């Protein structure tokens, strides 16, 4: 079964491996397969599920609702996000304005077939909307009982500090940030994590396997495996390109003997590395087939000893991205129409 961790400085517990449906539900995977995968996640002890209104242009939320039908709502932790364009993508169909936030939560609740979400997250920082307006709208959503907790995604240390201060003034708590984080992408360690630890904010991290590169299935100098994410334009091929250099793939192969020495698989090693960081509340995992989850969920509870953790870092040191300045390039400077 999957272990639980507290989300930020709150009383909410989430499964340290959280199921996410970014690249699968409503687009890459047929609905029947998506529903079967969610049922497998439930069977394996995962109770936390992450989605967003923009995934498959709202379809992913509906598929997740179908998959969770009949489950006891109180036994689930459902997260969704708002910011990216939805619908016809008009001038107010994205961003963090009061208008879009209030319309966004109502749309998400309808599609998810629930009265509330456990965590409502700002999918990016909105430079075109005053932060005060955004945080006031979040406060109202909490007071209306439509979201129990508020989080953000890919915010910088300074943005987290400003958002946290406003949330305290407005009587609610900013509990989480959802950044990309893996043994190959460590940009949050310099500023975001220390600031979050100070403020009582946890990370719920996406792409802990670096889009699958840390599984070791991509070999340097070899053709890409058929049906892999690197070959699927709908499945994140653009995202994975940064990790597909031979230098990176060669370094990743050095993890195989480290995993064997620890008696675990490469995916388990990568997830255990992420969860070794105490500021991480959860690592988001996905799957296109139910059987893929069997191996990955076994990472929950694995504790890497200091020598193994150091060996992973040494192997990837030449290729891991650690520059904290990378956190400033994630959110768009404008809401393009």
- The Cα 222–Cα 233 span in angstroms is 19
CA 315 to chain centre: 25
The number of helices, as runs of H, and strands, as runs of E, in the chain is 12, 10
Residue 3, sorted as left (phi over 0), alpha (psi -120 to 50) or beta, turns out to be beta
Pick from 154, 198, 199, 153: nearest CA to 173 = 199
Q: Is 55 a catalytic residue?
A: yes
Using the CB atoms, write b or e for 195-230: b if 16+ within 10 Å.
bbeebebbbbbbbbbbbbbbbbbbeeeeebeeebbb
Which residue is catalytic, options 4, 19, 55, 218? Answer: 55
Cβ atoms < 10 Å from Cβ of 167 = 19
User: In degrees to the nearest 10, what's the CA dihedral of 38, 69, 107, 288?
Assistant: 20
3-class SS at 33? helix
* C-alpha pair distances (Å), 306 with each of 71, 107, 196, 253: 40, 46, 24, 20
- The Cα 301–Cα 297 span in angstroms is 9
Active site residues: 55
């Amino acid at each position: 079964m999957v272990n639980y961790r507290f989300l930020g400085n709150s009383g909410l517990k989430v499964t340290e491996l959280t199921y996410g449906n970014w690249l699968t539900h409503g687009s890459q995977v047929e609905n029947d397969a998506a529903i079967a995968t969610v049922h497998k996640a439930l069977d394996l002890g995962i109770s936390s599920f992450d989605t967003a209104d923009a995934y498959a242009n709202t379809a992913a939320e509906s598929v997740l609702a179908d998959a969770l039908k009949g489950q006891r709502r109180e036994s689930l932790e459902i997260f969704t996000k708002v910011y990216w364009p939805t619908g016809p993508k008009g001038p107010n169909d994205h961003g963090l304005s009061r208008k879009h936030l209030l319309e966004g939560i109502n749309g998400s609740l309808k599609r998810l077939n629930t009265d509330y979400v456990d965590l409502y997250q700002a999918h990016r920082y909105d430079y075109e909307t005053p932060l005060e307006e955004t945080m006031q709208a979040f406060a109202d959503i909490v007071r209306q009982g439509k979201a129990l907790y508020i989080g953000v995604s890919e915010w910088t240390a300074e943005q987290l500090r400003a958002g946290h201060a406003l949330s305290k003034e407005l009587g609610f708590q900013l509990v989480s940030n959802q950044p990309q984080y893996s043994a190959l992408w460590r940009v949050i360690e310099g500023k975001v994590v220390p600031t979050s630890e100070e403020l009582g904010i946890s990370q719920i991290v996406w792409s802990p396997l670096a889009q699958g590169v840390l599984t070791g299935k991509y070999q340097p100098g070899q053709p890409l495996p058929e049906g892999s994410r690197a070959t699927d334009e709908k499945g994140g091929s653009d995202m994975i390109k940064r990790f597909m250099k031979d230098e990176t793939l060669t370094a990743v192969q050095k993890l195989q003997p480290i995993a064997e020495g620890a008696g675990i698989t490469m995916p388990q090693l990568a997830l255990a590395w992420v969860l070794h960081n105490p500021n991480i509340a959860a690592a988001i995992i996905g799957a296109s087939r139910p059987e893929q989850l069997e191996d990955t969920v076994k990472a929950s509870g694995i504790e890497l000893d200091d020598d193994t953790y150091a060996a992973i870092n040494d192997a990837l040191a030449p290729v891991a991205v650690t520059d904290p300045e990378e956190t400033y390039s994630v959110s768009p400077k404008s809401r393009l129409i």
